[in-house]
Amino acid sequence: MKNILVTGSSGQISSELIPALSKRGYNIISSDIRDPPKEELEYSTFTRLDVTDREALRQIVREYQIEGIIHNASILSAKGEENPYLAMNVNIRGLENVLTVAHEENVQRILSPSSIAAFGPSTPKIDTPNDTIMRPTTIYGISKVYTELLGEYFVLKFGLDFRSLRYPGIISAKTLPGGGTTDWAVEIFYKAIEEKKYTCFVKPDTMMPMMAMPDCINATIQLFEAPEDKLIHRTFNVAGISFTPQMLAEEIKKHIPEFIIDYKPDYRQQIADSWPKSIDDTVAKEEWGWESKFSLEDLVIYMLDELSKKLKSTVSSP
């Protein structure tokens, strides 16, 4: 498999996944409704695509002889609550288009991520199992349950090779996430470096599952390349580290002692409270060898280093 289409290519995850895939020898066609980051053009051929346009998608799949699709285009949780119809259109219609075109045009493999948002208030919150109650209360979460179930339906019905993984909050220094409930765990680093102060939009003790971008990229590529005969499941929990804003702030203070945090919870608190606090990823470990490599300490060092370089600021080490 060589020719891979990545949708949502200008977003947080794709902007780091595309260079990584390209370095592994894939020929990447990147697509987004927005302009691509400049660097992406070194690693991929960009083509503009609105995933809600099925025939435009089909044309790209034919023109570039696409063999695999990583379908990342999605409206995240907080933005989805501000505009549920947009989220329904992009997340649900977009997914239907990707799966339908993949099946009809004989694309071999699809990876379309799910999220911890696919869980809801009635899901067990600690060490949430891979197979459990899925009754999300956000439109984003509902669209992700649909992603998992429709993808698995295409496996059963048409033999499509569909895979999905439930990302926790992804923390990265290159591209900002757009409109998620876990965005505080990224924003805090920019503010700590630039202003030494951050006002957090969830309460200090809000424990959430998170993951550093290098772990996210490894998990995605590992699952995409996993031998199909080893997969009993098609959708997988992947855990990184769980922490609260208070815990993260304490760890940042070890490097930036003058950093202060205060709290002004908004509508995103309710979304955060409906999600798990920690994730059990035994199934991913067993079926395709997943393993997280980052501790909270590692994550903070990684983010401060990367962001300091990016923002050309200096941060002292303890």
For CA atoms 60, 61, 66, 71, the dihedral sign is positive
Q: Where are the beta strands (DSSP E) in 93-238?
A: 109-111, 114-115, 161-167, 169-171, 197-200, 208-212, 235-237
Instruction: Please identify, using beta-carbon distances, which residue of 68 and 180 lies nearer to ligand SER.
Output: 180
Quote the least distance from Cβ 169 to ligand SER, whole Å.
Answer: 5
Instruction: Please identify, using beta-carbon distances, which residue of 44 and 151 lies nearer to ligand SER.
Output: 151
If you count them, how many residues does the chain have?
318
Instruction: Please identify, using beta-carbon distances, which residue of 36 and 180 lies nearer to ligand SER.
Output: 180
**Site string (73-112) toward ligand SER, x via CB under 6 A:** ---xx-----------------------------------
Q: Is 57 in the site for ligand SER (CB under 6 A)?
A: no
Candidate list 140, 167, 198, 302, residue with the active-site label:
140
Q: Is 236 in the site for ligand SER (CB under 6 A)?
A: no
Among 8, 11, 136, 180, binds ligand SER (CB under 6 A): 180
Instruction: Please identify, using beta-carbon distances, which residue of 115 and 218 lies nearer to ligand SER.
Output: 115
Instruction: Please identify, using beta-carbon distances, which residue of 77 and 220 lies nearer to ligand SER.
Output: 77
Quote the least distance from Cβ 274 to ligand SER, whole Å.
Answer: 11
Q: Is 120 in the site for ligand SER (CB under 6 A)?
A: no
The CB-nearest residue to ligand SER is: 180
Q: Is 208 in the site for ligand SER (CB under 6 A)?
A: no
C-alpha–C-alpha distance, residues 270 and 137, integer Å: 10
C-alpha–C-alpha distance, residues 154 and 109, integer Å: 11
C-alpha–C-alpha distance, residues 241 and 247, integer Å: 12
Helix (H, G, I), strand (E, B) or coil at 47: strand
Instruction: Please identify, using beta-carbon distances, which residue of 22 and 269 lies nearer to ligand SER.
Output: 269
Instruction: Please identify, using beta-carbon distances, which residue of 75 and 307 lies nearer to ligand SER.
Output: 75
Q: Is 292 in the site for ligand SER (CB under 6 A)?
A: no
Among 172, 182, 218, 237, binds ligand SER (CB under 6 A): 182
C-alpha–C-alpha distance, residues 285 and 237, integer Å: 10
C-alpha–C-alpha distance, residues 98 and 68, integer Å: 11
C-alpha–C-alpha distance, residues 184 and 295, integer Å: 18
Q: Is 115 in the site for ligand SER (CB under 6 A)?
A: yes
Q: Which long-range contacts (CB under 8 A, 24 or more apart) does 227-232 make?
A: 228/161, 230/287, 230/288, 231/163, 231/287, 231/288, 232/283, 232/287
Task: Give residues 128-147 in contact with ligand SER (rule: CB under 6 A).
Answer: 140
**CA angle in degrees (0–180, nearest 5) for 83-197-261:** 80
Residue 122, CB half-sphere, CA atoms under 13 Å: how many? Answer: 6
Quote the least distance from Cβ 116 to ligand SER, whole Å.
Answer: 6
Kindly give, in sequence order, each residue whose CB lies less than 8 Å from that of residue 312, ignoring residues fewer than 6 positions away: none
Residue identified by tokens 């948002």 is 117
296-311 and 245-253 helices, crossing angle to 10° = 60
Task: Give residues 159-178 in contact with ligand SER (rule: CB under 6 A).
Answer: 167, 169
Question: How many residues of this chain bind ligand SER (CB under 6 A)?
Answer: 11
Concerning whether 267 is annotated as a catalytic residue, the answer is: no
Among 51, 110, 117, 211, binds ligand SER (CB under 6 A): 117
Q: Is 216 in the site for ligand SER (CB under 6 A)?
A: no
Catalytic residues: 140
Q: Which residues bind ligand SER (CB under 6 A)?
A: 76-77, 115-117, 140, 167, 169, 180-182
